[in-house]
């Protein structure tokens, strides 16, 4: 199972490391290895959240996620996106931006660093909306019950998550963005840029998430009918298959996953410049890491890990909330990548341990009941 799921990741790792040695020698090998580990540590929460969405999709769209999706993730976000940042911020053509990335790496890094406030605002708002919509939803299973119960009650207020997100954006634009961190340790007023980028991130979430939810809801009637057919099949002794989302609903869920992955990759791409400003080594390292995140997502779905460890999804969403706050704060202050990665790993690790304790408690109660019976 492990080889089947992670086989492509192992193959890409081998090819990527060989390419790194050929391109940059053993120093390039070390840089690519470090970047791969950085990407995996920063994106583990991404894999958990993706798995929660991917398990609703049918086998065809799961394959699309692993094939076309990985091309978008590796070549789009890890290679094209950094170049696109330079092209837009410096008002250069795509070819000029590529030449700059290859031939004037210091200037390239400077332009990307100066564009960080807008990137952080866009990604921070998108991730913040994911977190807020999660904690404001009333769920049967609660991890931090004392916190989640009152939040679920507040969630009954229409558009509360949007209001809170906009308030935090205004605070960020009038505080952090007034002295945004720039290349060389300088600061500049980026309030207008942060405000526009944050609104763009919010609109992106509402459009993509709204379309995905709309088409998913449209299938509810059809799913109910299929469930009725399944019940009839059980009674007659026929094999029952699980209902998986396909068609337009799956397409928009796939689109949502890609935008989600893009938002998660912002910190990895920006953080990579603390290690290297070589676009080739950066693409190799982050691309290898992205492959493992994709494989881990599929592994979690196929193994049913989220069903066995029910608090993992909670921990991942709290990690998303923490990452959103870190991105907004990083508009003004430099946040070490180690802190970003450790916060996510700590929250997911805590939720995993809580899930184990819950499973043990349930098993112990069942043993007591069996003894009494």
Region of residue 21 (left: phi > 0; alpha: psi -120 to 50; beta: else)? alpha
What residues contact residue 61 under an 8 Å CB cut-off, 6+ apart? 245, 246, 250, 251, 253, 254
Contact of 144 with 129, CB cutoff 8 Å? no
Per-residue tens of pLDDT for the chain, all 373 residues: 667 778 878 888 899 999 999 988 888 898 888 888 767 766 666 777 778 777 777 777 777 877 787 777 767 777 777 777 677 766 778 788 888 877 887 887 788 778 888 888 988 898 899 899 989 998 888 999 899 999 999 988 989 999 999 999 999 999 999 888 777 777 888 999 999 999 998 998 888 777 766 666 665 555 566 566 666 666 666 554 544 555 666 777 777 777 777 766 665 676 666 567 677 888 888 888 888 887 888 788 777 777 788 898 898 889 888 888 988 998 888 887 678 777 877 888 899 899 999 999 998 888 888 887 6
- Is the sign of the CA dihedral 188, 193, 194, 197 positive or negative? negative
Tokens for 370?
């069996």
Answer whether 116's CB lies under 8 Å from 181's CB.
yes
* Cβ contact 113:182 at 8 Å: yes
pLDDT at 301: 79
Compute CA distances 270 → 42, 211, 300, 371, whole Å: 12, 29, 27, 57
- The full set of domain ranges for the chain reads 2-372
* Cβ-based neighbours of 114, under 8 Å, separated by 6 or more: 89, 182, 183, 188
Report pLDDT for 93. Answer: 81
Q: What is the chain's alpha carbon radius of gyration, rounded to the nearest angstrom?
A: 22
CA neighbor of 270 nearest in space, from 41, 108, 116? 116
Nearest-CA neighbor of 194 among 114, 309, 310?
Answer: 114
Question: How many other CB atoms are found less than 10 A from the CB of residue 326?
Answer: 19
| pLDDT at residue 212, as a whole number | 64
**Element (H or E) spanning 337, and its range?**
helix 337-372
> Distances from the Cα of 197 to the Cαs of 119, 260, 286, 297, 329, in angstroms?
7, 16, 24, 29, 15
- The 8-class DSSP code of residue 61 comes to H
Contact of 47 with 296, CB cutoff 8 Å: yes
Task: Provide the 8-state DSSP code for 322.
Answer: H
CA 313 vs CA 10, 58, 263, 290, 360: distances in Å: 26, 20, 18, 20, 19
The Cα–Cα gap between 163 and 159 comes to: 6
pLDDT at position 73: 72
Q: Identify the pLDDT of residue 244.
A: 55
- The residue whose two tokens read 């949502």 is 256
């Amino acid at each position: 199972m492990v080889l089947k799921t992670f086989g492509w990741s192992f193959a890409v790792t081998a090819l990527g490391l060989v390419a790194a040695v050929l391109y940059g020698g053993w120093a390039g090998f070390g840089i690519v290895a470090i970047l791969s580990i950085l990407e995996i540590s920063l994106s583990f929460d991404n894999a958990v959240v993706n798995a929660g969405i991917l398990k609703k999709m049918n086998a065809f769209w799961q394959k699309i996620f692993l094939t076309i999706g990985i091309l978008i993730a590796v070549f789009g976000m890890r290679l094209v996106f950094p170049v696109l940042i330079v092209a837009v911020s410096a008002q250069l053509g795509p070819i000029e931006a590529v030449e700059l990335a290859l031939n004037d790496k210091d200037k390239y890094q400077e332009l990307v660093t100066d564009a960080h406030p807008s990137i952080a605002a866009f990604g921070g708002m998108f991730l913040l909306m994911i977190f807020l919509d999660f904690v404001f939803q009333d769920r049967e299973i609660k991890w931090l019950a004392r916190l989640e119960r009152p939040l679920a009650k507040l969630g009954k207020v229409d558009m509360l998550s949007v209001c809170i997100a906009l308030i935090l954006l205004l605070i960020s634009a009038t505080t952090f963005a007034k002295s945004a961190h720039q290349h060389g340790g300088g600061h500049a007023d980026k309030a207008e840029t942060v405000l526009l980028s944050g609104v763009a991130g919010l609109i992106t979430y509402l459009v993509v998430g709204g379309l995905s939810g709309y088409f998913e809801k449209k299938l509810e009637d059809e799913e109910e009918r299929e469930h009725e057919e399944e019940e009839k099949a059980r009674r007659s002794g026929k094999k029952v298959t699980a209902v998986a989302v396909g068609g337009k609903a799956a397409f928009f869920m796939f689109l949502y996953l890609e935008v989600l992955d893009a938002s998660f990759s912002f910190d990895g791409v920006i953080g990579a410049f603390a290690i290297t400003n070589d676009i080739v080594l950066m693409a190799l390292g982050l691309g290898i890491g992205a492959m493992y995140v994709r494989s881990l997502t599929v592994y979690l779905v196929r193994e049913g890990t989220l069903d066995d460890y029910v608090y993992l999804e909670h921990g991942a969403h709290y990690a998303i909330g923490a990452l959103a706050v870190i991105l907004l704060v990083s508009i003004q202050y430099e946040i070490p990548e180690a802190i970003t990665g450790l916060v996510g790993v700590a929250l997911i690790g805590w939720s995993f341990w809580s899930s184990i304790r819950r499973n043990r408690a349930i098993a112990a109660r069942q043993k007591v009941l069996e003894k009494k019976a």
